[in-house]
């Protein structure tokens, strides 16, 4: 086909192919989803007590939860405190033998002490209590 100079055909216009752009956006989306850290320390709604001395934990401890009704959880699964074998196994997997207890503010002291005793019986070397930092107080 011979084209003459003065004629302009619409098929000669430059087109932008959006397929590579969509691929790049999709890859960026995958990267950000995989790189994001989603913080969800507990699956239960727990109101932690407030402390002016609260500090960040240096290591990843075994997580024990005590709900407001007194039920206990090892990680995200229910745990009977007389079953020290599960906790002992989790403590052996860790490197420091550290337990972090997330207790609701409504938990009674005797229930908290009973859970701490069960942790010590399972072989915990360190027991820490989770608390929220007081607003305006502490370092």
Mean pLDDT of the 10-29 span: 79
Contact criterion met (CB below 8 Å) for 98 and 128: yes
Other C-beta atoms lying within 10 Å of the C-beta of residue 16: 6
Global confidence as pTM: 0.57
Q: Is 23 helix (H, G, I), strand (E, B) or coil?
A: helix
- Average pLDDT value over all residues in the chain: 78
Query: Per-residue confidence at 138, pLDDT binned at 50, 70, 90?
Result: very low
Query: Per-residue confidence at 7, pLDDT binned at 50, 70, 90?
Result: low
Q: Is 48 helix (H, G, I), strand (E, B) or coil?
A: coil
* pLDDT of residue 74 exceeding 50: yes
* pLDDT of residue 82 exceeding 80: yes
Residues 50-133, CATH architecture: 2-Layer Sandwich (3.30)
Q: Percent of the chain scored above 70 by pLDDT?
A: 67
Look at residue 75 in the predicted model and tell me its pLDDT.
82
pLDDT tens sequence across 28-66: 998 888 887 665 555 556 666 666 766 666 667 888 888
Query: Per-residue confidence at 93, pLDDT binned at 50, 70, 90?
Result: confident
Handedness of CA 107, 111, 116, 122 (dihedral sign): negative
CA distance 24 to 1: 38
Angle, nearest 10°, between helix axes 109-121 and 84-93?
60
Look at residue 117 in the predicted model and tell me its pLDDT.
92
């Amino acid at each position: 086909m011979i084209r003459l100079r003065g004629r302009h055909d619409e098929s000669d216009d430059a087109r932008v192919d959006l397929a590579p752009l969509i691929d790049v956006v999709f890859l960026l989306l995958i990267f950000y989803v995989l790189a994001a850290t989603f913080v969800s320390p507990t699956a239960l709604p727990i109101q932690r007590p407030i402390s002016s001395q609260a500090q960040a934990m240096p290591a990843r401890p075994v997580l024990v939860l005590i709900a407001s009704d007194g039920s206990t959880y090892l990680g995200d699964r229910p745990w009977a405190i007389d079953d020290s074998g599960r906790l002992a196994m989790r403590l052996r997997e860790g490197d420091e033998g550290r337990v972090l207890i997330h207790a609701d503010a409504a938990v009674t002291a005797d229930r908290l002490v009973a859970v701490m005793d069960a942790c010590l019986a399972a072989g915990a070397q360190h027991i820490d209590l989770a608390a929220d930092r007081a607003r305006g107080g502490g370092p």
